[in-house]
Amino acid sequence: MHRYCLFGLLLIPGQFVSAGEADVLAAKVRCDDESICRFSVTVRHADSGWEHYANRWEILDTSGNVIGVRELAHPHEHEQPFTRSLGNVAVPADISEVVIRARDSVHQYGGRELVVKVRE
């Protein structure tokens, strides 16, 4: 498992990902004054059809509690990497950063995670 920290956006150009776990490559987050946030997350996975594809990404606090889930309803074998968004995520006021991880239908979790600052 690899973690990278950012505020706003991170892109990792030139990274080769073999058929294995789903990796989170980038994330953008915008929060309003009430700590309701919108996350746009870029995932890469060697989707090979319905039998093996990235099927979910999650937002967790640093203790591992899930605070947001984006289900991915179909394979993206011809769209890699791909970005999907999730809005209306209530991030508790005492949390300054979150962890974003992706899951695939075969290996579950284990790919590259991202640590994202949601407030200074």
- Tokens, residue 64: 């591992």
The 10s digit of each residue's pLDDT in 5-14 is 444 433 444 4
| Average confidence (pLDDT) over 24-40 | 93
The pLDDT of residue 12: 41
What are residue 32's phi and psi, to 5 degrees?
A: -90, -175
The type of residue at 37 is C
The type of residue at 22 is A
d(CA 79, CA 34): 34
The pLDDT of residue 50: 81
Say whether pLDDT at 47 is over 80.
Answer: no
Q: What is the pTM of this model?
A: 0.79
Say whether pLDDT at 20 is over 90.
Answer: no
CATH architecture of the domain covering 3-117: Sandwich (2.60)
Nearest 5°: the CA angle 44, 48, 52 is 85
The 10s digit of each residue's pLDDT in 49-66 is 787 778 899 999 999 999
The type of residue at 105 is S
d(CA 46, CA 66): 25
Q: pLDDT grade, residue 78 (50/70/90)?
A: low
Q: pLDDT grade, residue 19 (50/70/90)?
A: low
